[in-house]
Amino acid sequence: MEKRPVVLVVMDGIGINEDDYGNAVKAANTPTLDMLMSNYPNIAIKAHGTAVGLPSDDDMGNSEVGHNALGCGQIYSQGAKLVNESIANGKLYSSDTWHKLTGNCVEHGSTLHFIGLLSDGNVHSHIEHLKSMITRAKEDHVKQVRVHVLLDGRDVLATSALEYVDDLEKLLRTLSDEAFDGRIASGGGRMKVTMDRYEANWDMVRLGWETHVLGKGRQFDNASDAISVYRDELPGVIDQDLPAFVIAENGNPVGTINDNDSVVLFNFRGDRAIELSMAFDYDHFDKFDRGPRPNVVYCGMLQYDGDLNLPKNYLVTPPDIQNTLSELLVKNNIRQYAVSETQKYGHVTYFWNGNKSEKFDEALESFEEIPSDRVSFDERPWMKAAEVTDKLIAALESGNYDFLRANYPNGDMVGHTGSFNATRIAVEAVDLCLTRVLRAVDGTNAILLITADHGNADEMFEKSKGGVAKAKTSHTLNPVPFIIYDKKQAHVIKTGSYGLANVAATVTSLLGIDKPDAWEESMV
């Protein structure tokens, strides 16, 4: 078999939806994508639910589990499913870490703090996990709990925060008595406070530290008042963009984090949990001035980075992903190249390689990151697509690589802003770049595969009461395209039902390499 390069392009957040309503993908002018779907082998594949290791097909996919599946060719229990299993079988509460957390509070009469995304979006967290842990903490004789809530509006309806706050407050009122005091202590929108990723904006984490740990910030009597006041003051603002707030009594914060307290970051997804974990765990830390770091027992829901051992304490063991595509390619002396901008760079590297920060082989793997703009993505919906394309084409034309992969974040990151018009432009920017990639593929005798990791831009509106359209900022349950572009050889996609985990075997088939038995089957 002639050795030909294989290129994989991930159009992040661009799914397939036959409905025109709120569909920025259909509304966009995409002549290249339309041509590919009309003239070259393609199929719709699953990118959510059980196809990517989530509990059910009601669960939206996300970029992390999507790139895990793409990069390992297998389906592992992921995120929410892992936590669900650990709570159901009792392993979470019998773990050494749980005993360390609660025992510390009982011994010192101190507070157990929970920090995390308050919703049932099931992408970063789930409110039921939090409620279960608070209830068990009381059973284990913890006397005081404080919750620092990050408001969603991204993986759930854009202005649904009060529903989750009310649900949590109801539980805390039910549990509180002479022996137990549970309250919300602070919070803010997830895109304003705490939940940065890939070290793109440390000021978000600094603000989170000041809000949750130090209790600095605008004070309110309760979280519901904070949300209502901010909505009145900032018309049109959605939950993810609400400013930080601190709950206080008589001018004093009700839930600062102090020496001898215990702290749980209850998000199970790693990308937006790593930086806060660094701030709590690292002795030597120079990203912002923490002030006197409180001496606490800190843990994550999972270990967010195994190579960095971060955090040191965690409640649920993450999947041990073995036999990844990168490992197989390294064993076969296949040279690899990966590129994206900051917002998805970790997805084509860390998540792709089975949640491992390090390369399997420095000589055979090359990673390139394009720094993302630090503005709201609806203001520059083209993002860094042109620069990613420049680098991908240069790498392909160099002849130095046999397998190349790139992620265009536009459909997802701009889709999350809720701006339909900006998202349409984002999709068009990706299509323009595909035109250039096709020319480079033709000129280098390569094979091009195009897919997505989940949907988002394909469903931007949600009908509320009265049939009024509301912005939908979350991922979708729609399938994603898988396209094979090869002018030199005709390919036939086998009849069947496929998901993201089938892509790896398809890549190895095109490279002339046998797949491991544990992998899902090739589509060709």
pLDDT tens, position by position, 49-85: 999 998 889 888 999 899 999 999 999 988 888 999 9
pLDDT at 35: 98
Percent residues over pLDDT 70 in the chain: 99
Q: Where in the chain is the domain with CATH 3.40.720.10?
A: 6-75+320-511
For the chain, give every residue range classified as CATH 3.40.1450.10.
Answer: 80-316
Are 414 and 457 contacting, i.e. CB atoms less than 8 angstroms apart? yes
Q: Which of 38, 56, 63, 366 is the catalytic position?
A: 63
pTM of the full predicted structure?
Answer: 0.77
Report the CATH fold assignment for 80-316. 3.40.1450
H or E segment and range at residue 175: helix 161-175
What is the arithmetic mean of pLDDT over 245-256? 98
Q: How far apart are CA 38 and CA 143, in angstroms?
A: 63
Q: Which helix (H) or strand (E) holds 365?
A: strand 365-370
Question: For the residues 353-360, what does the mean pLDDT come to?
Answer: 92
* CA-wise closest residue to 255 among 268, 241, 245, 265: 245
Least confident of 36-45, 324-333, 354-363, 383-392: 354-363
What is the Cα–Cα distance from 194 to 313, expressed in whole angstroms? 19
Rounded-to-integer distance, Cα 329 and Cα 331, Å: 5
Q: Which residues contact 79 (CB under 8 A, 6 or more apart)?
A: 53, 54, 64, 65, 122, 123, 268, 269, 302
Percent above pLDDT 90 for the chain: 90
pLDDT tens digit sequence for 395-454: 999 999 999 999 999 999 999 999 999 999 999 999 999 999 999 999 999 999 999 999
Tell me if residue 224 is catalytic. no
Residue 310 is classified by DSSP as B
**Per-residue confidence (pLDDT) for residue 379, from 0 to 100:** 97
Q: Provide the 3-class DSSP secondary structure of residue 214.
A: coil
Here the tokens at position 444 are 């280098």
Side-chain half-sphere exposure of 11, counting CA atoms within 13 A? 31
Strands (E), 152-259: 181-189, 219-220, 245-249, 252-253
CATH architecture of 6-75+320-511: 3-Layer(aba) Sandwich (3.40)
What number is the average pLDDT over the span 305-324? 86
Q: Are 476 and 49 in contact (CB under 8 A)?
A: no
The span from the CA of 175 to the CA of 239, in Å, is: 27
Other CB atoms within 10 Å distance of the CB of residue 312: 14
Q: Is pLDDT above 70 for 1?
A: no
User: Averaged over 118-143, what is the pLDDT?
Assistant: 97
- pLDDT at 189 > cutoff 70: yes
For residue 311, whether the previous peptide bond is cis, meaning omega lies within 30 degrees of 0, is yes
What is the C-alpha to C-alpha distance for residues 198 and 21, in angstroms, rounded to an integer? 33
Alpha-carbon gap, residue 26 to 20, rounded angstroms: 7
Confidence of residue 465 (pLDDT cuts 50, 70, 90): low
Give helix then strand counts, H and E, for the chain: 17, 18
* Cα angle, residue 75 at apex, residues 70 and 76 outer, rounded to 5°: 115
- Burial of residue 126 (number of CB atoms within 10 Å: 0-12, 13-18, 19+): buried
* DSSP helix/strand/coil, 369: strand
pLDDT given for residue 306 in this prediction: 65
Q: Report residue 122 as tokens.
A: 């099931």
Higher-scoring residue by pLDDT: 303, 164: 164
User: Residue holding tokens 């390069």?
Assistant: 5
Q: Say yes or no to pLDDT of 264 above 80.
A: yes
Give the rounded distance of the alpha carbon of 441 from its chain centre.
Answer: 30
Give Dmax (Cα) for the chain.
Answer: 77
Amino acid at 391: K
Phi and psi at residue 471, to the nearest 5°: -65, 135
Q: pLDDT band at residue 131, thresholds of 50, 70 and 90?
A: very high
Kindly give, in sequence order, each residue whose CB lies less than 8 Å from that of residue 415, ignoring residues fewer than 6 positions away: 13, 24, 423, 426, 456, 457, 460, 473
Which two tokens mark 338? 């990966």
CB distance 162 to 230 below 8 Å: no
- The sign of the torsion formed by the CA atoms of 379, 385, 386, 391 equals positive
Q: Provide the mean pLDDT of the chain.
A: 95
Task: Please report the DSSP string for 427-457 in residue order.
Answer: HHHHHHHHHHHHHHHHHTT-EEEEE-SSBST
Q: Give the number of C-alpha atoms closer than 13 A to the C-alpha of residue 327, restricted to the C-beta side.
A: 15
The answer, yes or no, to whether residue 307 has pLDDT greater than 60, is: no
Q: Is the pLDDT reported for residue 460 higher than 80? A: yes
Dihedrals φ, ψ of 271, to 5°?
A: -60, -40
Residues 6+ apart with CB under 8 A from 318: 82, 302, 303, 306, 355
State which amino acid sits at residue 428.
Answer: E
The 3-state DSSP class for residue 147 equals strand
